[in-house]
Amino acid sequence: MNKLKLIQQNFDRAAANYLKLAKLQNTTAQKLVAQMNNQLNSPEQIILDLGSGAGTFNHQVSTPQNQIISLDLSCAMLRQNSSSNAINADAAYLPLKDNSVDIVISNLMLQWTENKRQVFGEINRILKPNGVLVFTTLIKPSLHQLIDSFANIDNQQHTLDFLSSTEYQDLLVNSGFTINDQQQWYETFYFSDILSLFRHFGKSGTSLPAAQRNGLGGKSIINKLEQIYPRNNDDLLALSYHYFMLTAHTIS
């Protein structure tokens, strides 16, 4: 089974409770929509919510009175979405016409895509001249505490392979975009034990699909991580997420 299918199944399973549990997505959705609102100048503008999941506009934010297309790889996620215009598709192969969309938004989805250059090329293709892209994504050094701890146990990949903010900037410029604004921030969560951290890790949408994991939840791995994972002065385990929000325009 290929990676794309595994990711789809991963989010299909998470769909029913996603909006309630996806705290990371709630925070970034609010920042993203606030940034997007600065780009709105007409009620006729068409907005594509790329990798919409259960709906970026459902994450405790107001929906603008514009035409919104929700596109996601997971049909189960789209069934949780309030959008009346939903498309089940891969972000690397957008079933939309050239120059047909005014604004593309994407909330914490791009870290999942393997061929980001192709995804940005597709976004550029469907955006109108001087069209707007606003996205949030996770970047290095997200999850560095967990990644470093795993590195002391084996040389396998247990998390997503995050890009740096500079790598995203280069991808955008090379895909024909002009960068207008960028913001970075981070957030750290604390846990009393490794099992609590793992449960959060799975719900955050940053763990690899089950068939790709290399002993993520095995008893021996859990015991080893419990022993070597660094604790702070309050005897808690820290897990940090680093966010990147970028606004860009296509060349007119």
Rounded Cα distance, 67 and 143, in Å: 36
Is residue 7 over pLDDT 50?
Answer: no
Residue 214 inside a domain? The answer is no
* Residue 2 reports pLDDT greater than 80: no
76 against 101, higher pLDDT: 101
DSSP characters over 126-162: HEEEEEEEEEEEEETTTTHHHHHHHHTT-S---B--P
Give the model's pLDDT for residue 61.
54
Assigned domain for 217 exists: no
Tell me the residue range of the domain where 24 lies.
3-142+160-189+243-250
Residue 34 sits in a domain whose CATH number is 3.40.50.150
Assess if residue 80 is contained within a domain. Answer: yes
Give the confidence band of 63 by pLDDT, cuts at 50, 70, 90: low
Is 48 within the bounds of a domain? Answer: yes
The SS3 assignment for 160 reads: coil
Tokens of 96: 């939309």
- Phi (first) and psi of residue 3, to 5 degrees: -60, -40
Q: Is residue 103 part of a domain?
A: yes
As a whole number of angstroms, the longest Cα–Cα distance in the chain is: 57
- Provide the 8-state DSSP code for 111: G
Number of domains in the chain: 1
First to last CA, the chain: 41
